Amino acid sequence: MREFHKMAILVIVIVVILFGVFFVTRGEAEPNEYDEFAKCITNSGAKMYGAYWCSHCKSQKESFGDSWKLINYVECDPKGENANPAECEEHGIKGYPTWIFGDGQRNAGSISLSSLAIKTGCELP
């Protein structure tokens, strides 16, 4: 009977360890669909200027999903997080969102991901 208890405890410990490994590895972040695309846009020199309260900016950000964090973004409203209104003023930003590309071209307003791909030379997934 004592052997049975030892074996049962061993099996329970192994099961707990396996579940722990499963849940820990399952929680690891996988690359998002647009990560490479977003990195390429940033590496091309493109920046998006916007404001935290701008609905078009919010839509533009949402089009990237979690990959948005890889986009070079400048917050123009002084009340926004990590705001840099001086840079926005320096570049003459009048409306949101405004994209400025590596070659100096601008796009005022929301832009589709396919248009961003064309303007930056980045491959859309």
Question: What pairing do the DSSP bridges indicate for beta strands 73-75 and 106-108?
Answer: unpaired
* CATH architecture classification, 35-120: 3-Layer(aba) Sandwich (3.40)
Express each pLDDT in 24-58 by its tens digit: 444 444 579 999 999 999 999 999 999 999 999 99
Tell me whether strands 73-75 and 98-100 are parallel, antiparallel or unpaired. Answer: unpaired
Tens digits of per-residue pLDDT, 51-76?
999 999 999 999 999 999 999 999 99
Residues 6+ apart with CB under 8 A from 124: 37, 113, 114, 116, 117
Contacts of 51 (CB under 8 A, 6+ apart): 57, 75, 76, 77, 80, 96
Backbone phi, then psi, for 44, in 5-degree steps? -75, -10
Domain boundaries of the chain, sorted by first residue: 1-30, 35-120
Report the amino acid identity of residue 28. E
